[in-house]
Structure 1
Amino acid sequence: MVQASDMSNAEWQMMRVIWTMKEATSSEIITAMQQKKKWSESTIKTLLRRLVQKEMLMTQKVSRHFIYRPLIVEDDAMIQMTSEVFERLCSMKKGHTVAELITDMPLSQSDIMNLQDILKQKMMTAPETIACDCLAPASCERCAE
């Protein structure tokens, strides 16, 4: 299975451009990336090659050009990455972390309305408390509260 966490930060930036473009030639990708970053053509081609090797991109030769298409959907990659980060956190601390992220993150009114709807639905089945799943619960400050 394709793992979004296998991508470096530079590869993520490349994928964001390619996800936006849907498909693009190496020349189009190079042009777009050089508008964002001061990367050399060879650096961009190296990143493209790595993304193909990691099965994040597919490439097809059409005449004298290579066309690149994403093999992983942007939303799927973002969810995968976020889930992996949250799997590392104590379950009791996830709600606080989400609240902090929401506080600091720019959100549209429709984003906020969507979150309110989700939270309203989640409230119906939410437990009163979340059990600690820390590796050392006896030493966990949150668990002692």
Structure 2
Amino acid sequence: MEDRPPLSKGELQVARVLWDCGESTVRQIHESLPAERAMEFATVQTYLRRLEQKGYATAKLVGRTRHYRARVRPQTVIRQTVGELVDQLFDGDAMPLVRHLVEDRSLSSAEISQLRQMVDELDQGTSE
């Protein structure tokens, strides 16, 4: 796995829109941002350039317009970000994070069932 610098909060917001929209121009990304996360056009442009510089996106010139495309899948960014969080806050031990999520995030019955199923599948994998 390629080692990339972490994303800032703003870069991650723009990356999410890029993942959802696919190949897009700055204007398309700017117009696709949720209203509660609106930012200036120039800010979106800056974040897209940073995503490209950090290796999370690629850009090509079509006429006079740059078209951006994600270079990294969302799951890769999630894995890297959570890994860094676990290392920084919990010294590499994931259990305190899991405990926090289970106890403080008010899981629904359906989510608890999914969690039980995941644990059962992990149990079966280690007992075979």
TM-score category, normalised to shorter length: 0.7 to 0.9
Q: Separation in 2 of the partners of 1:44 and 1:87?
A: 30
How far does residue 50 in structure 1 lie from its aligned partner after superposition?
Answer: 1.1
Which secondary structure does the structure 2 equivalent of 1:58 belong to? strand
Q: Give the structure 2 partner of residue 37 of structure 1.
A: 37
Q: Tell me the C-alpha RMSD between the 2 structures.
A: 2.6
For structure 2, the residue ranges without an aligned partner over 5 or more in a row are none
Checking the alignment, whether the CA contact within 8 Å between 2:26 and 2:41 is kept in structure 1 is no
Moved more, 34-43 or 67-76: 34-43
Q: Give the structure 2 partner of residue 25 of structure 1.
A: 25
For structure 1, the residue ranges without an aligned partner over 5 or more in a row are 127-145
CA distance 1:19–1:36, change in 2 (3 Å): farther
How far does residue 109 in structure 1 lie from its aligned partner after superposition?
Answer: 6.0
CA distance 1:123–1:34, change in 2 (3 Å): closer
2:113 aligned with 1:81: no
TM-score, normalised to structure 2, is 0.77
How far does residue 110 in structure 1 lie from its aligned partner after superposition?
Answer: 5.7
Checking the alignment, whether the CA contact within 8 Å between 2:86 and 2:97 is kept in structure 1 is no
**What count of residue pairs does the alignment treat as equivalent?**
124
Q: Give the structure 1 partner of residue 61 of structure 2.
A: 61
Q: Percent identity?
A: 25
Q: Separation in 1 of the partners of 2:70 and 2:12?
A: 12
